[in-house]
Each structure stands twice: as C-alpha cells, then as structure tokens.
Amino acid sequence: MRIDRFGQVYVTGFLLFILTSFASATVRLPSVLSDHMVLQRNSAVKLWGWANASEQIEITASWDNHTYDIKADRNARWEIVIPTPEAGGPFTIDFKGSNSIRLNDILIGEVWICSGQSNMEWSANSGIDGAELAIQQANFPKIRFFQIPRTTSKYRQDDCEASWSICSPETMRVFSAVGYFFGKNLYENLDVPIGLIQAAWGGTAAEVWTPEEVINADPDFAQWDATLGTSDHWPREPGVLFNAMIHPVTNFKVSGAIWYQGESNTASAILYRRLFPAMIESWRNAWDFPMPFYFVQIAPFNYGTPMQGALVRESQLQTMKTVPNTGMVVISDIGNIYDIHPRNKIDVGQRLAHWALARTYGKKTSSIPGRFINRTGSKEEN
C-alpha cells in the first residue's frame, strides 16, 4: 500500500512538473519589447525573447507585412534582426509560436538612454522651474517613456520590471525632467517619434554603472572600496547598476545616450579622468556601436573641499576632448552654489538636445531658439 501511495504522489508531482514546464514554454518577450514602444528608425533592430527549446516562431511587422521565422535555441532563447522603415506609426508586431502575442501602438523614431544620478532622475514632481506649466503642456503622444526602477544585481540581467508609457501630464511629472525636455526639443525639431529610456539613481558613483570586470582590471579603479567610502543609502559595488538597469536594454537599438553624473565621484576627481571614459567605452561595447554620448558638467556647488567640483568638471572637459563622439553641456550660468539640484532643468535638456541636433542629426543651432541651419547652409523653420 505504501508503494501505491508513493507512486500516486510521484505521478501527481510529475504531471505538475510537465504542466508547469509547458506553461513556461510559451513565447515570452522582455519588458522593453511591449505596447507603446519606439523602435529606432531606418535601422536593423533586434527582437528577442524566450520560448520552448527548438520552438519555431513567426514574427510579422505591420509596416511591411513580412513574416520572419526564427527557432529558439537549446537554452530556450531566440533573437532576430529585422529592418525598420522611416519614422511613423502606429504599427503592430505579431509573434506566433505555441502562443500568440501582438504588440500594439508601436512607433518608429529616435531612441535615447537617459542615465546618471539625482539630477537626471529629478522629476517635475520633485520641484523644477516652471513645473506647473510644463506638466500642463506635456501632451505629446509621440513621445514615449520607459522608466527602469532602481534595481541592483550582482549578475547581468536579461530583463527588468518596466513598461512603455505615452507622454502625458500624468507620466511626464514622474519622469526625468532633463530627459523629458531633451526629448521634447528633439521631437519639436525632428518631427519624429521619440523614445526615452530612463535608468538613473541619485547618489550613485560611476563605478556602479561600469561593468565589474572593467573596474577589477584596473589597479586604481579596483580600490573603489576605499575611494567611495561607506554608505548605507546607495549601492556601491562595481557593476550592480550596469547589470540590473543597463544590461537588460543593451539589445534594444538606440541612437545614443545622455548622462548627468559626477557629484558622487568628487572624492576621486583625478581618477574620474580615466574612469568616465572607461565607462563610456564599456557602454559602447555593450551596444556594439560608438554611440553618441552627451553629458552635463556637474552643477556648481560647494562640495565641502576646495576644488573638488572644479576638478571633476575638468575631468569631464578632458573626456570631451579625448573621447570621440561626445559632447558636454556647461551649466555654471544656470546653477545654484547652494543647491546641488538646480531647478532649471529646461535649459539643461535643451542644451543636451542642441548637441544631438548638431552632431547626431546634422543640424547647427543658430542664435534664434527653435531655428537650425543644416549642413547645406539653408535655414529650416520648425
């Protein structure tokens, strides 16, 4: 009788295992591939996900109605590269395997990463100049937000808990203010959909945004424990934010990155001359292209020790001089030496956008706001 009873329990457990395995074998997508997303225009974008090992998957995009076939590997992972058209939408993408998924309201345009620490994370809700009017006017259905929550990981993650949202007063007010004003300026001057991916965490040093192996490979970087000091409020271990907040979206095609950080590296300002370029290079390696990287000089502020802030700003200037395809925004004229979080985020976002418009999109800003001169010299009105 014991054998029969044990056999019954064994069979039940086995069936449960089979049912669970079957349920988990359905086609799945990472969170960044979801409704309302923006895909990079005129490009070859990667689509990826999970399914049953060796499962055949059909993918059809509505902009050309072409069906692509891909088979999951033995690790139950699949990926494929497909072409995207000129800016436009909305479109759909259908995925069909043992189950079917349709992604709706997809736009084709320009996609940017918005990363750094608190001055990038700072939202209209946190308090910015002109917040009430900016929130009220934030009705831009062709601007989309993907806001990655604060997360750490010792190991590189393939996914994150986030979703795409449409720009509205409700969503804009909690998104990066600098990122929003950057994206808004691009949208108004390029007239294409804009996708903004926020990955920011206040108080974080560059070491945590840089892969651990990059930090450990350099004898000076590897002294991070002594350099950064003890903190119970912010992650400190190398690479933990790169793993959890950057790596999950490195398969997602982007146009470039904007960055606002450095305040938490004032104690190692000289080292930042090499650390910051190393971080930029590691991101470019992760995305596998020399992505434009535009950044903001840290805000003018009394950091407690003479020259700390000035030395970081000098390190940032050296980065712009030595690292190709970078640009630096100066904000000493719109900062506040008594507030490490200057509330004028509008001009910061616009100045970052001017770098992108000039260097990435071939427009040269004139002295008249909103008007640009293209490479042929003819004026373009917006």
Q: What band does 272 get if pLDDT is binned at 50, 70 and 90?
A: very high
pLDDT on residue 7: 40
Question: Residue 173: is its pLDDT beyond 60?
Answer: yes
Q: Is the pLDDT at 251 greater than 70, yes or no? A: yes
CA dihedral defined by 274, 223, 200, 251, rounded to 10 degrees?
70
Distance, in Å, from the CA atom of 266 to the CA atom of 311, rounded to the nearest integer, reads: 8
- When pLDDT is averaged across residues 34-49 and rounded to a whole number, the result is 98
- Average pLDDT (17-40) is 77
Q: How confident is the model at residue 295 (pLDDT cuts 50, 70, 90)?
A: very high
Q: How many CB atoms lie within 10 A of CB 78?
A: 23
Q: How far is the C-alpha of 259 from the C-alpha of 323, rounded, in Å?
A: 15
pLDDT at 307: 85
**Residue position matching structure tokens 């560059």:** 206
**pLDDT number for residue 24:** 52
Contact (CB, 8 A) for 351 and 260: no
Average pLDDT over residues 174-194: 98
CA distance 308 to 302: 9
How far is C-alpha 269 from the chain's CA centre?
A: 25
Read off the pLDDT band of 323 (50, 70, 90): very high
The residue-averaged pLDDT of 330-358 equals 93
- pLDDT tens profile 119-156: 999 999 999 999 999 999 999 999 999 999 999 999 99
What pLDDT, on a 0 to 100 scale, did the predictor assign at position 302?
A: 81
pLDDT score of 366: 55
Bigger pLDDT: 235 vs 24:
235
Q: How far is CA 61 from the centre of its chain?
A: 24
Please say if the pLDDT value at position 374 is more than 70: no
The predicted model gives 5-9 an average pLDDT of 39
C-alpha 333/C-alpha 187 separation (Å) is 26
**pLDDT at 55 exceeding the cut of 70:** yes
- pLDDT score at 25: 59
| Sheet arrangement for strand 372-374 | 363-365, 372-374, 379-380
Mean pLDDT of the chain: 89
Residues facing 362 on adjacent strands: none
User: Is residue 23 over pLDDT 60?
Assistant: no
Comparing 33-37, 58-62, 339-343, which segment has the lowest mean pLDDT? 339-343
| The two three-digit tokens of residue 104, written as one number | 């709706």
Residue 282 has pLDDT above 60, yes or no: yes
Cα separation, 72 vs 24, in Å, equals 14
Is the model's pLDDT at 347 over the cut of 70? yes
Tokens 């009220």 belong to 136
Residues 6+ apart with CB under 8 A from 117: 200, 201, 202, 203, 204, 260, 261, 263, 264
Residue 15 has pLDDT above 60, yes or no: no
Task: Spell out the domains of the chain, with CATH numbers in brackets.
Answer: 38-106 (2.60.40.10), 109-366+376-380 (3.40.50.1110)
